[in-house]
Amino acid sequence: MASVTLENVSRMYGAVTAVDNVNLKIKSGEFVTLLGPSGCGKTTTLRMVAGLEKNTGGRIAIGDNVVSDSEKGYFVPSERRRLGMVFQSYAIWPHMTVFDNVAYPLRIRRRPDKEINDRVMNALRLVEMEQYAERPSPALSGGQQQRVAIARALVFEPEVLLLDEPLSNLDARLRTQMGDDFRALQQRLKITALYVTHDQAEAMALSDRVVVMHGGKILQVGAPEEIYRRPENRQVAAFFGTPNLLNATVKDCRPNGGQYYKLSVEGQGWSGDCHAATEMPKGADVTVMVRPENLHVRDAGQVNGDLSWAGEVSQAIFRGSHRSIMVKTPAQTLHVEASSLSHVDIGRPVTVAAPVEAAWAVRN
């Protein structure tokens, strides 16, 4: 397994920049996810690594080998990059059996029959599809096709495994299950994987690191939890779930002894403490992010947290696993995820509170 390095990689379509100066290094055996809304350049980036598209700027290396250098006009075509790839549509060739599909990368490389047979059956066993080997591929269900696609991508032990939204065509339950299975497989085999998705939950659950992209640029790279809890800017913050984003002004800033800084901020009708990644000058405008699941609804006037807002309940929706409560405060309406057992009446005055660790400030 090899690392993947992207250095100043860009892709222009005429005057339109699809990928803009992307730098990224994926370590050997690491699972990295490119995450972003559609049109953010994540698929283009993946396709450039695959060699299905040529980068118009920068260079790409797989392991110790540069595979594409736009300045030198050097380009290694896909077939010589030793990759495995799972397509969104699975790209299962309908004229072949399951076995033939999986055996294809080996047959192309003219391996002996014995070896082909062993490795294909091994790969199929990995994805628990060995009993379907002789099936014509159109006769498979979506989940089965996906397994075949993974087996095909792994069968010749590629340098890197590329996955382009492989789970998006599956139904919700199957998606979670396949995702977990795949993560387990990846960790067992120590495969370097580059994964593209627009589904944050998928990205969280599978990745060692997540790369958030927007408008062709990388916004942030980091472990899922870090990105989720400590986004670098408002866009990243907004991308995960439906966080409450509050405008505020910095009153005071001091190191909190650890990695971060502790801020005192003041917003419209509220004030309190929160954390930030960088030092901020007094009077700077910031956005404070508080995730709905970290907010608590208490009776009016009851303040024992680090941050609190007074308001009244404007809406409550039962969602099974939790209850979405909208609280109207002078600053803005806050979204709170409360236990589904809690009972709230519309119009009741309440206080919404959050611990200081749950509030994260980013520069506007």
Partner 1 sequence: MTIIHNRPLDDIAETAPTIAGNAFTRAFSGGSLWRLIGMLVLILILGFLTIYPLAMLLYGSLHSTPPGMAGEFNLNGYRSIMTTQNLIVLANTIGISLAKTIPSLTIAVFLAWIVARTDTPFRGTLEVLITLPFFIPPILTAMAWGMLANPQVGVINMVWRWATGATDPLVNIYSYGGVIWHMCQYSIPFLFLFMVDAFRAMDPSLEESSRMCGASRWTTFRKITLLLMLPVLTSSFMLSFIKGIETFESALFFGLPAGIKVITTDIYESINHRATPDYQYATSLSFAIMGLMFLLVIWQWWMLRGKSFQTVTGKGFRPSVMELGPWRWVTFAFCVLFFFITVVLPIGQLMLGSFFRFFGFYTYDMLTLEHYRAVFANSEFWRAVRNTMVLGLLGATATMALGAIVAYISVRTRWRGRNLVDSMAWLPWMMPGMVLGVGFLWAFAMLPGPIPIYGTIWALLLAYIALGTPVSVRVMTGAYHQLSYDLEECSRVHGASWFQTMWRIMVALAWPAFAVGWVLTFFGIMRELSASILLYSVGSETLAVVLMKLWANGNAEQVSVIGLMMMLLVIVFRWVQLSFIKSRISKL
Cα gap 329→352, rounded to integer Å: 9
In angstroms, give the least distance from the CB of 166 to partner 1: 12
Closest to partner 1 by CB, 25 vs 348, is 25
- Report the SS3 class of residue 319: coil
Cβ closest to partner 1, residue 50 vs residue 265:
50
Query: In terms of CB distance, is 142 or 301 closer to partner 1?
Result: 142
Other CB atoms within 10 Å distance of the CB of residue 252: 12
10 DSSP β-pair partners: 57
Tell which residue, 19, 37, 21, 362, has the closest CA to residue 198. Answer: 37
Residue 222 makes contact with partner 1 by CB under 8 A: yes
Using CB under 8 A as the binding rule, whether residue 109 contacts partner 1 is answered as yes
Q: Are 2 and 63 in contact (CB under 8 A)?
A: yes
Q: Which stretch binds partner 1 (CB under 8 A): 63-71, 115-123, 244-252, 284-292?
A: 63-71
Minimum Å gap between C-beta 338 and partner 1 is 35
Q: Tell whether residue 300 is a contact of partner 1 (CB under 8 A).
A: no
Q: Confirm or reject binding of residue 275 to partner 1 (CB under 8 A).
A: no
| Phi, psi values for residue 255, rounded to 5° | -65, 145
Q: Does residue number 143 form part of the binding site for partner 1 (CB under 8 A)?
A: no
261, 253 Cβ separation under 8 angstroms = yes
Per CB under 8 A, 82 contacts partner 1: yes
Residue 23 in contact with partner 1, rule: CB under 8 A: yes
Nearer to partner 1, 221 or 265 (CB): 221
State the minimum distance, in angstroms, from the CB of residue 187 to partner 1: 19
- What's the gap between Cα 287 and its chain centre? 22
36 binds partner 1 (CB under 8 A): no
Q: How far is the CB of 21 from partner 1 (least distance, A)?
A: 9
Q: Is 153 in the site for partner 1 (CB under 8 A)?
A: yes
Task: In whole angstroms, give the CA distance from residue 249 to residue 144.
Answer: 53
138 binds partner 1 (CB under 8 A): yes
142-154 helix and 98-108 helix, angle to the nearest 10 degrees: 20
With beta carbons less than 8 A apart as the criterion, state whether 140 and 128 touch: no
Radius of gyration for the alpha carbons in the chain, expressed in angstroms and rounded: 24
Coil, strand, or helix at residue 107?
helix
Task: Report d(CA 270, CA 276) in Å as an integer.
Answer: 18
The H or E element containing residue 13 is strand 4-13
- Per rule CB under 8 A, is residue 88 in the interface with partner 1? yes
Binding residue for partner 1 (CB under 8 A) from 221, 280, 297, 334?
Answer: 221
> Quick one: 82 or 275, whose CB is closer to partner 1?
82
Site residues, partner 1 (CB under 8 A): 5, 7-8, 23-25, 27, 50-52, 59, 61, 64-66, 73-85, 87-95, 104-105, 108-109, 136-140, 142, 145, 152-153, 156, 162, 169, 209, 218, 221-222
